[in-house]
Amino acid sequence: MDDKLMLMIPGPTPVPEQALLALAKHPIGHRSGEFSKVMAEVTEGLKWLHQTQNDVLVLTASGTGALEAGIINFLSPGDRVLCGANGKFGERWVEVCTAYGIQVETISAPWGQALDPEAFRLQLEADTAKEIKAVIITHSETSTGVVNDLETINRHVKAHGQALIIVDAVTSLGAMNVPVDAWDLDVVGSGSQKGYMIPPGLGFVSVSPKAWEAYKTAKCPRYYLDLGKYRKDAAKNSTPYTTPVNLVIALQTTLRMMREEGLEQIFARHSRHRAATRAAIKALNLGLLADDASAAYSITAVQPPEGLDAEKIRSVLKKQFSIVMAGGQDHLKGKIFRIGHLGFVSDRDILTAISALEATLRELGYEGAVPGAGVAAAVRVLAS
């Protein structure tokens, strides 16, 4: 029984058949008129998804490349920035800044907890000389399944007046509300293998007029990731370098699917899957790393029962049921496993994952819950 693999990880996420079929086609020329039409529609769709009139640029890169572009195009070595770090990805943006000689001050929280917006307010208010050039926030911290309160932190950034807000929205965009214009988010980065429902390979960056102003004087070295080139070519529905045309055509199909479903419905579906997953985990008497108030829409991090290694659970799930869940990263390896419910995920997938998890726990000798309790709890949420 090969070919039944089910991905319940927060990227790469499952890909719908329409998109897979688009990927199987012969590539077309990236400078052809035919492809320009695709780019025009995709760009429109990206703006719709970002809820913005800003430029949304398409890069051949994973999410990290998109965020690196979002940092280095608007800052100079020596610039002062604040970066939130409460997980693997927040810490990565600190490393990117450091690599370019940007003077980064880290505002951290323990892995599994949300960043404290007050810590940002205090730092920003203390900066009367207006030296802070940017605040970098990971909206949905995938390594822990925690959502940071971007709306509140951004309000403090706006009160500061000078600093740009640079957002990693890789697992929030397409799962929860990220209204780029309503919140006036300057730079928002994301990647194709997450909420976009296509394979890895494309990165996206939205850029506000204020960020383009900063671009004019930003001095970080850049070439392939110079967003000015992407903007210039985007005006002609093109890209500066050869773009993976098949991925873009696949994206055209998934953006159409998303528009058909509707933004509110997409957010509601992710919210329902989050609720069902969390209810099931609680009913199984397992631990949840994130509390209810800051739980991510796209991923749930679960603490295994006492004495059971999370990697063991993952390995049985994979071998027995061909279901892949994600492990913990860095110091959380073995201590958590993460259930992705991002993108092309239906109620059926949640029920399948929970029932397989129950069977796996039983197989591993866990008797801390009534058989079926997790599925029953998930069904109650999904049916309500």
Name the residues that contact ligand PLP, by CB under 6 A. 10-11, 62-64, 89, 138, 140, 142, 168, 170-171, 191, 194
- Residue with smaller CB distance to ligand PLP, 67 or 164: 67
Instruction: In angstroms, give the least distance from the CB of 280 to ligand PLP.
Output: 23
Give Cβ neighbours of residue 13 (< 8 Å, ≥ 6 apart): 7, 193, 194, 195, 197, 340, 342, 343, 344, 345
DSSP tag of 214: H
Contact 51/181 with Cβ under 8 angstroms? yes
Q: How far is the CB of 310 from ligand PLP (least distance, A)?
A: 18
Pairing outcome for strands 164-168 and 187-191: parallel
Residues paired with residue 204 on neighbouring β-strands, in sequence order: 58, 190
Residue nearest to ligand PLP (CB): 63
Minimal distance, residue 140 CB to ligand PLP, in Å:
6
Q: Which is nearer to ligand PLP, 190 or 239 (CB)?
A: 190
Closer CB to ligand PLP, 143 or 239, in the complex? 143
Which lies closer to ligand PLP via its Cβ, residue 227 or residue 381? 227
122's CB contacts (< 8 A; 6+ apart) are: none
**DSSP 8-state secondary structure symbol assigned to residue 231:** H
Q: What gap in Å lies between CA 170 and CA 154, rounded to an integer?
A: 17
* Nearest approach, Cβ of residue 78 and ligand PLP (Å): 25
Q: CA dist 367 to 40, 300, 358, 363, Å?
A: 55, 22, 10, 10
Cα gap 46→30, rounded to integer Å: 19
DSSP state of 179: -
Nearer to ligand PLP, 304 or 343 (CB): 343
- Supply φ then ψ for residue 336, to 5 degrees: -140, 160
Q: Any idea what DSSP says for residue 192?
A: T
Q: What's the min distance (Å) between Cβ of 88 and ligand PLP?
A: 8
Rg over CA atoms, the chain = 21
Shortest Å distance, C-beta 325 to ligand PLP:
15
Strand order through the sheet with 337-340 = 6-8, 323-327, 337-340, 299-303, 287-288
Least Å distance between CB 201 and ligand PLP?
9
Of the pair 45, 199, the CB lying nearest ligand PLP is at 199
Determine the 3-state secondary structure of 349 from DSSP.
helix
Q: Phi first, then psi: give them for residue 120, nearest 5 degrees.
A: -75, -40
How far is it, in rounded angstroms, from Cα 358 to Cα 148? 30
Cβ proximity to ligand PLP, 84 vs 191, nearer residue: 191
Work out how close the CB of 67 gets to ligand PLP at its nearest, in angstroms, rounded to a whole number: 6
Dist. CA 57–CA 188, nearest whole Å? 10
Least Cβ distance, residue 361 to ligand PLP (angstroms): 26
Looking at beta carbons only, is 54 or 171 nearer to ligand PLP? 171
The smaller minimum CB distance to ligand PLP, of residues 72 and 279, is found at 72
Give the single-character DSSP code of 292.
G
**Residue nearer to ligand PLP on the CB measure, 52 or 142:** 142
Contacts of 44 (CB under 8 A, 6+ apart): none
Instruction: Report in angstroms how near the CB of residue 299 gets to ligand PLP at its nearest.
Output: 8
Sequence-ordered list of residues with C-beta below 8 angstroms from that of 156, at least 6 positions apart, any chain:
117, 120, 121, 124, 125
